[in-house]
Amino acid sequence: MTAARLDTRLAPGRAAFNRGEFFAAHELWEDVWRGLAGDERTLAQGLIQIAAGLHHLQHGRPRPAARLLARGASKLSRAPATTLPVAALLHDVTRLLAALDTPGGDAPDPAAIRF
């Protein structure tokens, strides 16, 4: 599949993600993920895990959030070329993970993360 076609298929989930509707983004991306293989499947799975992690964070569950965010970031770091802003998302997730790892630190607002 071309990068542009994959980006188009991921667009509805991206819109939900950018509205802070992380569970909806997770579900929309999961529908796409089922039909993918290889590196594209890894990219979609990384997005799904990040969305699920942010959903956990929205609901006050920082430990499962951190685990999913780390797994998702690891997958995105191996993502194929795309026109999506994957590097910017990885940067934001890395900063969020650092904040979650800071003892006594406040958990950042997950809705501030955009993709």
Residue ranges covered by each domain of the chain: 3-106
pLDDT tens profile 65-86 = 999 999 999 999 988 778 889 9
The model's pTM is 0.92
Instruction: Kindly state the tokens that stand for 93.
Output: 């997730």
Q: Which CATH architecture fits 3-106?
A: Orthogonal Bundle (1.10)
DSSP result, the chain: --HHHHHHHHHHHHHHHHTT-HHHHHHHHHHHHTT--HHHHHHHHHHHHHHHHHHHHHTT-HHHHHHHHHHHHHHHTTPPP-SS-HHHHHHHHHHHHHHHHSTTPPPP-GGG---
Instruction: Report the Cα 49 to chain-centroid distance in Å.
Output: 6
> Is it the case that residue 42 has pLDDT exceeding 80?
yes
